[in-house]
Structure 1
Amino acid sequence: MDIAALATVASQMQVRQDASLKVMDKAMGDAEQQGNQMVEMLESSKVQHPDLGNSVDVKA
């Protein structure tokens, strides 16, 4: 391979890597946002019956 071909291949590899990192960064940002929204949803949910689930009946 000559220098020009190597430079082209290296440039293409760099573009692929940059694009891959951008996609991963976007996915991580989306996952963080979804996690924050889930935390907000769980914190805002109200307990319907405060006594429900506090004891277990083990008799059959």
Structure 2
Amino acid sequence: MDLRCEGCAGCCVDWRPLAPEAAGSDRAGRRPPLDDVYDLAPLTRDEVVRFLDRGLGDVMA
């Protein structure tokens, strides 16, 4: 695997707490989560097409 972490924003890091008693603290908003996926980023169809056109389909998994 080729890692390029210089200047990384940490987007791919799972920031959920390890302690069970701390779980759920990140879900304190007034709206329920869209999915049980922690790092779900809703994209429009056009955004997905742009990622694929640029050869960045791997980053979408």
Instruction: Name the one with the larger helix percent.
Output: 1
**Higher RCO (CA < 8 A, seq sep 6+):** 2
Higher Cα Rg: structure 1 or 2? 1
